[in-house]
Structure 1
Amino acid sequence: MSFENDLKLLLSTQNILIYILSSEEERLEYNMNLMIQQNIKKSIYCWNFIDGYYNNPNYLNRALRNPLQAIEFIEQLNFPTSTIFFLKDFHAFINDISIIRKIKNVSRFLKQANSSIVISASEIQIPGLLKDFVTVLEFPLPNDDEINIELHRLFNIMNISSSFYSEYFYDLILAYRGFSIDQIRISIAKLLSSNSSIDNLIKNILNEKQQLVNQTDILEFYPVDDSFEDVGGLILLKDWLNKRSKAFSKQAQDYGLIAPKGVLLVGVQGTGKSLIAKAISGQWKLPLLKLDMGKIFAGIVGKSEERMRHMIKTAEQSFPCILWIDEIDKCFTRLNNYMDSGTTSRVLGTLLTWLAEKDKPIFVIATANQVLSLPSELLRKGRFDEIFFLDLPNLEEREKIFKIHLMKFRPLSWLNYDIKFLSKLTDQFSGAEIEQAIIEAMYNAFYEKREFSTQDIINVIDNFIPLAFTDQVNISAIQNWAISGKIRMAS
């Protein structure tokens, strides 16, 4: 059900106190007035602390700088019709005991006249004494249709030719998802004044979106330039992902295709789980949001669940996007569920419900090293489309990994290295360990003031103990899962 339908239902069923969470007062007031004019036979009185009541000439400046009088005004008014009292930022005053008492007193007048108080607020602050009276609604950010209308309006005002933006208009709408109307107006004015090309315009919008996301202090807008060419091996996983690379496009939407939910990548450290997350973002050309699970769990009771809900809201405002939950096993383990008075269980429950029911095109990539410690609910089908096991690279994949890193470090002379021999020596090495062996060889040669060689890498490999030798229990268990068909092999 849409916000407008929810609000109509509440206003028509004697809900006397409606609390709307939004930072867009102007747009909320416009939408409410439009809804009243078109669908509801009610009058509306608007109040703010500085101006008092301001939209009715008979009551201008009433209750100026006096929130208690704003409620007393409701009691004194003789209701000729059903009425909405729209009080802006009233959450700043609602915890005062005299205001609480006065709201309770006027509740019978509101019920008799089928009238309501609507409070707009940027955060939830509801006193316990009023919880039985309050219904909370969240005013969503502009949808695609609203962004479309606003962009056309702004371009017409600025006399910008449609030829400038027509081909990329849908890309502009996608880029501005998650912005408020005011933020869109400021962004368009600022960016167009610089006479940027449409490509640079979209890049600049994404830079602004990055700042908005980073302000949450929970999600990080992760800039990436990686692609599948930077990932050695994982042929089956990359093939699965390539088939879904256009799943978030308008063509896929018109085709009726259901957007993929995401994947859980499991395996030993260093096998490319984080790299593939970044490569998907680069390959699909979708923004990558990285979730810091450590910041979800705060010390105050109830705060962790609130932060998880805020993370979900921020991600949904940025759709389509990729949400990367790195090392999810460090937070959601069976042990944690019994050690923290249920906080982990509640946060996990919120995440699981969202993963199963989300309808926004958000592709979730979760990575885990110790998959055996994860709660079974997280591994159940329906949370993710697939669970892939990233095994240690085989000989052919190790050759590809050596080639990728040597081309990066020595783009002109990488052919001078004996990649086939090095690949044979690095059985049981992860991709990260192969890269580290090359870097260590470079340090040793640099210290001796010479170019590093194949022999330098061999010397490092001979003294290197791969993590696989110390993590055999976990690796063997996951391999058995893959053999039994519980999870899919990535290569």
Structure 2
Amino acid sequence: MHFNKELRLLLSSQHFLIYICTNEEERLEYTINQITQKYTKHTIYSWDFIDGYQNNPNYINKAKRNPLEALELIDTLQSTQLNIFILKDFHVFINDISITRKLKNIYKKLKEMNSYIVISAPEIKIPTLLEEVITLISFPLPNSKEIENELSNLFEIMNIDPQIYLENLVIAYRGFSIDKIRKSISKLIYSNISLKNTLDIILEEKQKIIQQTDILDLEKVNHYLEEIGGLTNLKEWLIKRSCSFSIQARNYGLPSPKGLLLIGIQGTGKSLSAKAIAQQWKIPLLKLDIGKIFKGIIGESEERIRQMINLAEKTAPCVLWIDEIDKIFNRMENNNDSGTTNRVLSCFLTWLSEKETQVFIVATANNIEYLPPELLRKGRFDEIFFLDLPNFNERCQIFQIHLMKIRPLTWTQYNIIKLSNLTEKFSGAEIKQSIVEAMHNAFYEKREFNTEDIIKVIREFIPLAFTNQKSISSLQEWAKLGNIRLASKSY
């Protein structure tokens, strides 16, 4: 409804030349018709390059293959009625000097004519000469209610009762146009695929859409919270919010969670947690590679961060994972790029504070000293968690998890207590690697690995904590001050 209100406001406040960015011509035209019939009573004229004008019997096929003639008709039309002219794909012609000049001339007359021009285009191409007279707005993809209505109508036609799957399908189809939803459902129905198995196929289709942008990656989520040792506080926080993006939560009046900042040295489970969150909440996981934002020609970075935000919001509800966010701010301090990095980060931080869509941010950082105060203040994230090195009990749990995975029948034969005592200052990732290295050594000798093999690796291993003590101490001091919350129960 936000778009409807915005367009109604523009039509009533003398914005006579409107540029709407969308790929959904049919849905846009339907929406404009609905608005005009209900509120403004405008007559609609619709033009495209191949068929010329449509929707009005007096001008059928006028100005075929002639965009300048399409504008001439608007200029010479004698009418006392309120009119809206929808010009499709007009961005292709708008930079031609004759078209630009004609639009500027017509703009002066539109107020007297009670007429509006709506340019419908899939991308933004507005010449500098028209920036002052054109108002740019975006036509959003279908919201949850529109998708639900479309699915209900489709299933009614096909005599299918989708109620038990409807909510999951609505979430899965976020980010799809109505046309793509129709094609997808038809494909699934005629392929005799049960509705229970459609979600994975929809996710594959969504992955193809995301991959075309070369900004975000759709990650596979096959990790569960139970696979993470320790981090009890973090797990409890996440489990309580498992249904926060559901229709029931929205009806309850519950605001959607905004995001988490996970801080800790490498190997403490930050990346694994991001993947497990998406799995726990049953929503897609998008990963942002900051390097892709800053690659390319000068001036392109700002556009790419806007594309990233737009794509994430189209895919909502989703988890957006930003790995090693501290490196971005380190880049800002050590980079001379005419302010590009500052502008990109300003755009991102503003969105982080003001976003209303169901995009849950999971940002991870290794070094808190690089993070600016404005990122750590309340409001950017729901919570900031410190993932410390695992304590003795957590190390026992981590050893058990990994050994149960690779030796589900014989894991109890390993002396987990002794191994956990020997791995103080080890991260979870280093514990896993000590097991893997022991397996390699034993496999080379053509025998089963045992506790002594793991102990030998542990005694030869130098944990990252010994070379990164300053960073760990800094994080621990922050945690003691209460500035960030402990991800584990005990310190």
Q: Could you tell me the TM-score, scaled by structure 1's length?
A: 0.96
2:301·2:340 contact (CA, 8 Å) conserved in 1? yes
Between the aligned residues of both structures, percent identity stands at 61
Which residue in 2 is equivalent to 1:118?
118
Q: Which residue does 2:302 correspond to in 1?
A: 305
Deviation at 1:60, TM superposition (A): 2.0
Secondary structure at 2:447 match in 1? coil
Q: Distance in 2 between matches of 1:147 and 1:286?
A: 17
> How far does the alpha carbon of each residue in 1:275-297 deviate from its partner, in whole angstroms, 9 at most, with x for none?
11111111222221111111111
Q: Tell me by how many angstroms 1:254 deviates.
A: 2.2
Report the alpha carbon displacement of residue 136 of structure 1 after superposing the two structures with TM.
0.5
Counterpart check, 1:78 vs 2:75 = no
Aligned length: 488
Residue range with higher mean Cα deviation, 252-261 or 266-275: 252-261
* Contact 2:260-2:363 within 8 A present in 1 as well: yes
In the alignment, what sits opposite 1:219? 216
Answer whether contact 1:91 1:121 (CA < 8 A) is retained. Answer: yes
Corresponding residue number in structure 1 for 2:239: 242
Question: Once the 2 structures are TM-superposed, how far is the Cα of residue 79 of structure 1 from its aligned partner?
Answer: 2.5
CA distance in 1 between partners of 2:433 and 2:40 (Å) = 67
Instruction: Output the amino acid matched with 2:455.
Output: I
Give 1:430's aligned residue: 427
1:49 maps to: 49
CA contact (8 A) 2:80 2:114 kept: no
Query: Could you give the per-residue CA deviations for residues 324-353 of structure 1, whole angstroms, max 9, x where no partner exists?
Result: 111111122274475322222111111111
2:332–2:342 Cα contact (<8 Å) kept: no
**SS of the counterpart of 1:299?**
coil
3-state DSSP of counterpart to 2:361: strand
Question: What SS is found at the alignment partner of 2:45?
Answer: strand
CA deviation digits over 1:332-380, x for unaligned, max 9?
Answer: 2274475322222111111111111111222211000012111221111
Query: What is the identity, as a one-letter code, of the residue corresponding to 2:65?
Result: R
Structure 2 counterpart of 1:90: 90
Deviations 1:112-155 (A, max 9, x none): 11211110000000000110011001001112222222222222
* 1:43–1:83 CA contact under 8 A, matched in 2: yes
Cross-structure match for 2:401: 404
Look up the SS of the partner of 2:268 in the other structure. Answer: coil
- What secondary structure, in the 3-state scheme, does the structure 2 residue paired with 1:188 have? helix
The 8 Å contact of residues 221 and 279 in structure 2, kept in 1 or not, is answered as: yes
**Partners of 1:17 and 1:134 within 8 A in 2:** yes
**Cα contact 1:49–1:64 (8 A) shared by 2:** yes
Find the residue that maps to 1:331 and give its secondary structure: helix
Give the partner amino acid of 1:118: V
243-252 or 356-365, larger mean C-alpha shift: 243-252
Question: 2:331, 2:216 → 1: CA distance?
Answer: 25
What's the counterpart of residue 454 of structure 1? 451
Change (3 A) 1:220 1:335: closer
- What letter is aligned with 2:160? S
User: 2:384 corresponds to which residue?
Assistant: 387
Q: Deviations over 1:223-270 (max 9, x none)?
A: 112111100011111122222222222222222222211110001100
Contact map agreement 1:389 1:489 (CA 8 A) in 2: yes
Calculate the aligned-residue CA RMSD, in Å: 1.5
What secondary structure sits across from 1:18 in the alignment?
strand
Q: CA deviation at 1:482?
A: 0.5
Structure 1: tracts of 5 or more residues without a match = none
Say if 1:334 and 1:374, in contact at 8 Å, map to a contact too: no
Matched, 1:40 2:37: no
Q: 2:349 aligns with which of 348, 352, 357?
A: 352
Q: Counterpart of 1:16?
A: 16
Deviation of residue 402 (structure 1)?
0.8
Contact preservation (8 Å) 2:42, 2:83 = yes
Q: Residues 228 and 283 of structure 1 are in contact (CA less than 8 Å); yes or no, is this contact kept in structure 2?
A: yes
Task: Determine the C-alpha separation between the residues in 2 that align with 1:453 and 1:187.
Answer: 51
Residue type of the alignment partner of 1:333: N
Q: How does 1:247-396 map to 2 (within 5 A)?
A: 247-333=244-330, 335-336=332-333, 339-396=336-393
TM-score (ref. length: structure 2): 0.96
> C-alpha distance in 2, partners of 1:457/1:252?
47
2:28 is matched with which residue?
28
The question of whether the paired residues in 2 share the 8 Å contact of 1:328 and 1:367 is answered with yes
Q: Is the 8 A contact 1:437 1:457 kept in 2?
A: yes
The whole-number CA distance in structure 1 between the counterparts of 2:377 and 2:143 is: 32
Number of the residue aligned with 1:106: 106
**Equivalent residue of 2:19, what SS?**
strand
CA offsets 1:67-103 (integer angstroms, 9 cap, x no match): 1111122112112312111100000110001111111
- What corresponds to 1:468 in structure 2? 465
**Conserved in 1, the CA contact under 8 Å of 2:438 and 2:453?**
yes
Could you tell me how far apart the structure 2 residues matched to 1:252 and 1:56 are? 46
Structure 2 unaligned residues grouped into runs of 5+? none
The structural deviation recorded for 1:469 is 0.7
Measured in 2, the distance between the counterparts of 1:304 and 1:444 equals 47
